[in-house]
A = this chain, B = another copy of it.
Amino acid sequence: MSRTDDLYLELTRLLRETAVMSSCSNVLGWDEQTFMPEGGAQFRSEQLGLLAGMTHERATSSRVGELLAELEGSGDLGDPDGDRAVNVREARRSYNRSTKLPRRLVEELSRTTTLAQQAWVKAREDADFPVFLPWLEKMIGLKREEAQAIGYGAGVPYDALMDDYEPGMTTAEVARVFGPLRDELVKLVAAIHHSGKLPNTEILERHYPKTPQIVVAEAASKMIGFDFKRGRIDSSAHPFCSGFGPGDCRLTTRYHDHHFPSAFFGVLHESGHGIYDQGLPVDSFGLGIGQADSLGIHESQSRMWENFVGRSRPFWSYMYPTVKEAFPQALGSTGFDDFYFAINDVRPSFIRVEADEVTYNLHIMLRFEMEQLLISGDLKPADVPGMWNEKFMEYFGLAVPNDSKGCLQDIHWSAGLLGYFPTYALGNMYAAQFFEAAHRDLGDLDTAFAAGQFRPLKEWLNEKIHQHGKRYPAKRLVEIVTGQSLSHVPLMNHLKRKFGGLYSLKF
């Protein structure tokens, strides 16, 4: 073995150990959300605090820094897209992010997050923005400091924050695609509104007993390719996907007796995340090649299975008989077209997480625009409700009745997750681009879906996306897989085709 081999081996051993340690936190976090009795909460935070501290200590150890410096200086890392160079590059990225923030800032962010979330919960309950305002001010101040500490090249401070979730993506690039996307979406929403057609959504609010909901949701998850030998689905208040590590990926959902879509599409969504996680190369656990590429790419997988596949006509032409049989009382007299239209209802609404496939992206853009202004200092936190409500009228044509249905609805700002929102809409665009490419590569997927065949798409995603981990930054991955750079066009084509048909629109 060469000296570089030795150093690389030592580095990967350290990285894997850090990832194993961090995965223990994931198990405890999952249990906290699913099964933990209420009395365990305080002690659980002590356990998680200790593990986090030990993981951080390992991730920032000076030995990792030395190994990285020597490896980078060796000129002996081979193909820059090869496993070794990628793993070193990603280790450097993550080492820099962990070591660049001064300890004081890390601790203040952690303290502020806890207190800001408590204030946010109260403020949202009472629709009382002033209760949250001082914490939002404090948080924005700290995130601006964070952006300075991380650095952002020739760009804007917001780049440094977004880079944590969507490595290599810049504010300018996102703005370039969000602009035309927003304009076209506003037009599409208006056209849908003026079509005068309205699905009967009461269909979805009938009585759907929990046990058959679990049965059909798990059957659908298995059908699209989530492997239950290497994962499972449980219930939690807020749905999530947590990949513990090789061979173990946990999904959660929530079941509502009188709302069919929550659990069913929630499970498809989380299954999309889970299939990605299960498709990462297990031997590279803890290394760049073994990790999901970006939040946007992750979201592209969940949105593809939830929306592009899961809300499509061919999917339901296969699935509807099963679901109808599982809920004879609710759906016995409901025809396919009515059901299919109901699950594709498009209408402007206040709450992002309840939004449909079309209006969802507008919710994101509004937040993206405001976050940039908050971080640049051009928007004062005190002016957030005013700008929110103004933009909401502009994009949705709706007057926000109170801040709980407006700028207080999301947890992200209180949790310090600034720069996170755009990845949701990027996910939708990536999904559309990938889906178009899959159709091109695989031929008639609609016929396959209508026959219950989802394996070709799943294996295509495994091969084109999952197995590469972080080999290519998201925007390059999109180019390699689809032959196109990031674009709003495939998403708009998909939405216009699908909803044009449903609402009898002419473009």
Contact = CB atoms under 8 A, between A and B. Distances in A.
A43 B244 contact: yes
A460 interface: no
A27 B21 contact: no
A285 B227 CA distance: 40
A247 B42 contact: yes
The bracket for how many chain A residues form the interface is: 35 or more
A12 to B, nearest CB: 14
A229 interface: yes
Most B Cβ at <10 Å: residue of A21, A27, A35: A27
A496 to B, nearest CB: 41
9 contacts: A17-B50, A20-B47, A37-B230, A37-B248, A39-B248, A40-B247, A43-B244, A43-B245, A47-B245
Contacts of A50: 17, 20-21, 24
> 9 nearest interchain CB pairs?
A40-B248, A39-B230, A39-B247, A43-B245, A40-B247, A43-B246, A39-B229, A20-B50, A24-B47
Most B Cβ at <10 Å: residue of A39, A42, A51: A39
A36 interface: yes
A44 interface: yes
Given A38-B229, A41-B247, 7 more contacts: A27-B27, A27-B47, A39-B230, A43-B244, A43-B245, A43-B247, A44-B248
A444 interface: no
A232 interface: yes
Most B Cβ at <10 Å: residue of A20, A24, A41, A245: A24
A159 to B, nearest CB: 36
Interface of A: 17, 20-21, 23-24, 27-28, 31, 35-44, 46-47, 50-51, 54, 227-232, 234, 244-248, 285
A35 B232 contact: yes
Given A27-B28, A31-B31, A227 B39 contact: yes
Contacts of A232: 35, 37
A43 B232 CA distance: 16
A187 B50 CA distance: 56
A356 B89 CA distance: 64
A44 B27 CA distance: 10
A40 B44 CA distance: 22
Contacts of A41: 247
A230 B40 contact: yes
Nearest to A230: B39
A227 B234 CA distance: 23
A245 B45 CA distance: 12
B37 A229 contact: yes
A43 B285 CA distance: 10
Contacts of A40: 230, 244-245, 247-248
Contacts of A28: 24, 27
Contacts of A227: 39
Nearest to A30: B31
A41 B230 CA distance: 10
Contacts of A43: 23, 244-248, 285
A246 B47 contact: no
A23 B230 CA distance: 25
B228 A42 contact: no
A120 B244 CA distance: 31
A278 to B, nearest CB: 9
Nearest to A246: B43
Contact of A37 (B17, B44, B247, B285): B247
Contacts of A35: 35, 232, 234
Nearest to A228: B37
A117 B481 CA distance: 49
Nearest to A229: B39
Most B Cβ at <10 Å: residue of A17, A20, A231: A20
A27 B50 CA distance: 14
A227 B38 CA distance: 11
